[in-house]
């Protein structure tokens, strides 16, 4: 239990608080509309569907307040880095921003479905009441007109057309109805296009459709202005529904029963979402300013396995290890921005990214670069970032285990390069004393573009007598007969047949229990670290694309 609390306690606490607020809002507003005296006559027309429509609306307001915050990248980076107002455990929660964004989106979708279904029932019951299908009180309430002496309760008040057409007029001509249809359709398109199969195969569809959130929020702000849900107002003398509900014929005739007055509630949704909307607007403004800053190419290299390396220079650009940037190439698309982890080190006077052909956008970029004359500058590139990840904390620990898969190794290129520079400069502040690096690839040529960096590090560590500082293991998870034959022929050579490194390539997948046990034995600093490595108590696991990072401190 203690291990689980250390690893997942804060995340679970945040989720429990979020869930508790959702439940509280739902229950509070459900009871408010289900028991409130001012809604007695409204409930008589609509029944429990009134509360079932309004309670989800309150939950929607809360989650629409939250939905934009996890995608304000600059705000998250400010919290993570510049302010340094929270510890490492808290900062690592920021890496789960997209997961929380999705969770909030699913909640919005669920609450929207309940809200829409309840209002469809409300429209049907409003219509039936207007036609006299129910009791005398429902008919009387529906016949109230909007005059100087009374205000209506039933929004379906049209009498000069076929009654069967009345609900469609309410839905498609009123502010509440029309905006409700628009934001529901926008949400359906956003949710369906966000499915993984669409996002991976048709990223442009996902990207452009996702920007319907602008329509969604615009409609959301005006949706409540329709004031469809109406409540009884205080009159002088007061209309006592308990006494007057059975004396409809006396309404307006006796002092005890004046004609009841009704009014729609003041719209509140805009008050929930205006703050996040302003923050997000500032976010987009900052991104535009960054986009306008000039970016030049220092070097363009086409690596094996159709991996493109771009070395870029931008005035005032500063980075930390493991950070990422968003790139925009107007020659391909004016609006699309794609994230790439930087493979350069903070000590270098440029920043680099490695881009693998994995979709239409990357394929087009590689084709453009391949057609450039030798030595020419590449296409105009917009850069937004850098943005932080948990990899920034790697040097705050004494021992780190880095696990990469395929192109997901890119954050560790930055980390390993930075280590090389720190040793080259004899940095005395380096706390890290041991790094274990694991890299898993399906194909042999995937190792090629990164092996040269490992060779430099391997040689540098040996020259400094620090060969034990970096332990790396490469795993080939897929191979054919020709690869196996090639390895057999060169098995007795000092360097690996696949990578050219002194460390031989392993075949298959690592047995993690065995690996952790070896790390535990090699780092027996004290009982605390022994207990940690044995039971994984203090594993700070960071998921980011195709890599994991485990770090711990023995002090």
pLDDT in tens, 114-125: 999 999 999 888
DSSP assignment of 254-287, as one string? STTSPPPEEEEPPP-HHHHHHHHHHHHHHHHHHH
3-state secondary structure at position 389: coil
Q: How far apart are CA 359 and CA 542, in angstroms?
A: 26
Long-range contacts of 459-467 (CB under 8 A, 24+ apart): 460/420, 460/423, 460/424, 461/423, 464/423, 466/423
* Helix H or strand E encompassing 421: helix 410-424
Largest CA distance in the chain: 109
Pick the closest to residue 115 from 177, 60, 62 (CA basis): 60
Is the pLDDT assigned to residue 455 strictly greater than 80? no
β-sheet with 382-387: strand ranges across: 338-341, 324-328, 382-387
Percent of the chain at pLDDT > 90 equals: 21
* Residue 198 DSSP code: H
Report the pLDDT value the prediction gives residue 34, as an integer from 0 to 100: 92
d(CA 495, CA 505): 10
State the pLDDT at residue 96.
Answer: 81
Instruction: Return the pLDDT at 546.
Output: 41
Q: 367-381, 430-444, 474-488: which has the highest mean pLDDT?
A: 367-381
Q: Please tell me whether residue 508 adopts helix, strand or coil conformation.
A: coil
Residue 451 half-sphere exposure toward CB, CA atoms < 13 A: 23
- With contact defined as beta carbons under 8 Å apart, do 467 and 501 qualify? no
Between β-strands 399-405 and 434-441, what pairing exists: parallel, antiparallel or unpaired?
A: parallel
Q: CA 342 to CA 414: how far, in whole Å?
A: 7
**Does 356 have pLDDT greater than 70?**
yes
pLDDT of residue 32: 94
**Bond before 237 cis per omega within 30 degrees:** yes
Q: Taking Cα atoms as reference points, which of 253, 266, 371 lies closest to residue 308? A: 371
Provide the 10 A C-beta neighbour count for residue 347: 14
Contact 266, 233 (CB under 8 A): no
For the cut 80, the answer to whether the pLDDT of residue 552 exceeds it is no
Cis upstream peptide for 386 (omega within 30°) = yes
Is residue 60 within 8 A of residue 105, CB to CB? The reply is: no
Residue with tokens 């080190």: 345
**Among candidates 343, 470, 348, which has minimal Cα distance to 421?**
348
What 3-state class would DSSP assign to 206?
helix
For residue 456, pLDDT beyond 80: no
Residues of the chain with CATH 3.40.50.80: 399-480+493-552
What tens digit of pLDDT does each residue of 368-396 get? 988 888 778 888 999 988 887 666 667 77
Residues 6+ apart with CB under 8 A from 168: none
User: Measured between alpha carbons, how far is residue 7 from residues 10, 191, 266 in Å?
Assistant: 8, 31, 45
Q: What is the tens place of the pLDDT at every residue in 533-543?
A: 333 323 333 33
Phi and psi torsions of 552, nearest 5°: -155, 160
- What is the spatial distance between Cα 87 and Cα 210, in angstroms, rounded to a whole number? 33
**Do 541 and 550 form a contact (C-beta atoms < 8 A)?**
yes
Question: Which has the minimum average pLDDT: 47-56, 372-381, 389-398, 444-453?
Answer: 444-453
Domain 399-480+493-552 CATH class label? alpha beta
Mean pLDDT throughout 328-337? 87
The closest alpha carbon to 507, from 410, 435, 412, 442, belongs to: 442
Of 128-137, 391-400, 444-453, 542-551, the one with minimum mean pLDDT is 542-551
For domain 294-387, give the CATH superfamily: Translation factors (2.40.30.10)
Alpha carbon of residue 400 to chain centroid: 27
How does pLDDT run across 169-224, given as a tens digit for each residue? Answer: 777 778 888 899 999 999 999 999 988 888 877 888 888 899 999 999 999 999 88
Identify the CA nearest to 51 among candidates 35, 75, 73, 67: 35
Domain with CATH 2.40.30.10 in the chain: 294-387
Banded model confidence at residue 42, pLDDT cuts 50, 70, 90: very high
- For 154, the 3-state DSSP assignment is coil
Q: What is the pLDDT of residue 510?
A: 84
Global confidence as pTM:
0.79
| CA 385/CA 362 separation, integer angstroms | 19
Number of separate helices (H) and strands (E) present in the chain: 20, 14
232-288: pLDDT as tens digits = 888 888 888 888 888 888 888 888 888 888 888 888 888 999 999 999 999 889 888
Residue range 275-325, pLDDT digits in tens: 999 999 998 898 888 888 889 998 888 876 678 889 999 988 888 887 889
- Count of all residues that appear for the chain in the document: 555
What string of DSSP letters covers 329-372? -TTT-SS--EEEEB-S-TTSSSEEEEEE--SHHHHHHHHHHHTS
**pLDDT value, residue 7:** 59
132 Cβ contact list (under 8 Å, min separation 6):
138, 139
Predicted confidence band of residue 555 (pLDDT cuts 50, 70, 90): very low
CA atoms within 13 A on the CB side of 485: 3
């Amino acid at each position: 239990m203690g291990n689980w609390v250390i690893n997942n306690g804060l995340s679970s606490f945040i989720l429990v608080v979020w869930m508790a607020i959702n439940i509280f809002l739902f229950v509070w507003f459900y009871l408010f509309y289900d028991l409130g005296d001012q809604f007695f006559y409204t409930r008589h027309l609509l029944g429990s569907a009134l509360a079932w429509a309004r309670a989800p609306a309150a939950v929607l307001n809360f989650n629409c307040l939250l939905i934009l915050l996890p995608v304000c990248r600059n705000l998250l980076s400010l919290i993570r880095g510049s302010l340094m107002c929270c510890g490492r455990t808290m900062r690592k929660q920021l890496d789960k921003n997209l997961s929380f964004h999705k969770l909030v989106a699913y909640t919005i979708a669920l609450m929207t479905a309940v809200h829409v279904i309840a209002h469809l029932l409300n429209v049907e019951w409003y219509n039936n009441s207007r036609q006299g299908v129910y009791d005398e009180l429902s008919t009387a309430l529906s016949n109230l007109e909007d005059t100087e002496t009374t205000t209506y309760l039933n929004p379906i008040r049209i009498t000069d057309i076929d009654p069967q057409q009345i609900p469609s007029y309410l839905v498609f001509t009123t502010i509440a109805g029309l905006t409700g249809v628009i934001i529901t359709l926008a949400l359906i398109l956003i949710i369906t296009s966000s499915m993984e199969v669409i996002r991976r195969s048709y990223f442009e569809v996902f990207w452009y459709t996702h920007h319907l959130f602008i329509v969604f929020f615009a409609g959301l702000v005006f949706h409540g202005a329709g004031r469809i849900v109406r409540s009884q107002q205080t009159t002088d003398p007061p209309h006592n529904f308990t006494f007057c509900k059975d004396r409809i014929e006396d309404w307006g005739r006796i002092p005890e029963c004046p004609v009841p007055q009704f009014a729609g509630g003041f719209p509140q949704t805009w008050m929930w979402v205006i703050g996040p909307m302003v923050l997000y607007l500032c976010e987009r403004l900052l991104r535009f300013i960054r986009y306008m800053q000039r970016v030049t190419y220092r070097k363009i290299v086409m690596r094996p396995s159709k991996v493109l390396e771009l070395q870029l220079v931008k005035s005032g650009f500063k980075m930390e290890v493991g950070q990422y940037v968003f790139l925009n190439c107007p020659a391909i698309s004016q609006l699309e921005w794609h994230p790439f982890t930087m493979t350069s080190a903070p000590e270098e006077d440029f920043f680099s990214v490695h881009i693998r052909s994995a979709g239409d956008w990357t394929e087009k970029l590689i084709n453009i670069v391949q057609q450039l004359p030798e030595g020419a500058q590449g296409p105009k590139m917009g850069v937004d970032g850098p943005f932080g990840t948990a990899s920034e904390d790697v040097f705050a620990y004494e021992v780190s285990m880095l696990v990469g898969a395929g192109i997901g190794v890119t954050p560790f290129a930055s980390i390993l390069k930075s280590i090389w520079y720190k040793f080259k400069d004899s940095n005395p502040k380096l706390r890290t004393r041991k790094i274990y690096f694991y890299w898993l690839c399906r194909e042999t040529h995937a190792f090629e573009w990164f092996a040269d960096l490992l060779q430099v590090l391997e040689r540098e560590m040996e020259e400094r007598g620090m060969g034990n500082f970096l332990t790396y293991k490469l795993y080939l998870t897929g191979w054919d007969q020709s690869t196996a034959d090639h390895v057999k022929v060169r098995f007795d050579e000092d360097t690996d047949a696949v990578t050219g490194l002194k460390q031989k390539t392993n075949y298959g997948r690592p047995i993690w229990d065995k690996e952790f046990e070896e790390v535990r034995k090699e780092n027996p600093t004290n009982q605390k670290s022994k207990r940690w490595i044995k039971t994984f108590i203090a594993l700070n696991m960071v998921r980011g694309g195709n890599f994991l990072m485990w770090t711990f401190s023995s002090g």
